[in-house]
């Protein structure tokens, strides 16, 4: 198998007028990852926010999450397994983004990004890093894994910002 899972080839489709162009509603819980699923025990899991001045704050599972001082405009999200993705810090604030760790009454399964994944519903799903382990706050924007490979820097599905130049 290549680094990209079979799910990227697509599945049955149902169009919906209330979704951005090219998006389809599914009732199942598809899995799309660029590599193998990391299995991280909660007692070894940690979450790190690194600021532009070199300050690092680290939380264990029970300690998650508190205020951080920053003047940064950009965030580079890091995941266990090495995946990264970038977005404006603004897009992570004010309840627009979540760190999800439960699903359907149980802990979030490793395939779906557990112990915890980022969820940014207003941007294309590659911005929603599974197995999230930290956020690096930056004064200058820095591309992540797919953005380095040509995906759009921002990824607004309403504007179909799939690739650089869209
Ligand atoms: N850590 C990590 N997060 C990731 C990915 C990945 O390969 N590794 N793939 C991204 C991409 S491209 C997509 S489309 C979504 C897929 O999320 P899903 O597996 O829950 O459908 O996860 C995103 N988050
Ligand atoms: Mo994706």
13, two tokens:
């489709």
Q: Where are the domains of the chain?
A: 46-159
* φ, ψ at 90 (rounded to 5°): -50, -35
pTM: 0.83
Q: How far is the CA of 26 from the centre of ligand 1 (A)?
A: 16
Do 57 and 11 contact (CB within 8 A), yes or no? no
Contact status, residue 140 vs residue 74, Cβ threshold 8 Å: yes
State both tokens at 12.
């049955």
If pLDDT is split at 50, 70 and 90, which confidence band does 73 have?
very high
Pocket test for ligand 1, best of 33, 129, 150 (most atoms within 8 A of CB): 33
Tens-place pLDDT, residues 43-58 = 999 999 999 999 999 9
By CB atoms closer than 10 A (0-12, 13-18, 19+), residue 160 is middle
**Which class is domain 46-159?**
alpha beta
């Amino acid at each position: 198998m290549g680094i990209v899972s079979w799910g990227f080839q697509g599945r049955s489709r149902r169009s919906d007028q209330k979704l951005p162009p090219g998006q389809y509603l599914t009732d199942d819980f598809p899995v799309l990852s660029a590599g193998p699923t990391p299995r991280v025990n909660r007692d070894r899991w940690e979450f790190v926010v690194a600021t532009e001045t070199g300050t690092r704050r680290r939380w264990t599972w029970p300690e998650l999450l508190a205020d951080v001082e920053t003047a940064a405009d950009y965030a580079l999200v890091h995941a266990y397994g090495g995946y990264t993705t970038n977005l404006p810090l603004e897009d992570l604030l004010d309840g627009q983004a979540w760190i999800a760790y439960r699903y359907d009454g149980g802990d979030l399964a490793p395939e779906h990004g557990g112990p915890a994944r980022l969820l940014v519903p207003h941007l294309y799903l590659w911005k929603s890093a599974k197995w999230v382990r930290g956020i690096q706050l930056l004064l200058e924007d820095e591309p992540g894994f797919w953005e380095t490979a040509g995906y759009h820097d921002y990824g607004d599905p309403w504007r179909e910002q799939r690739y650089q130049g869209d």
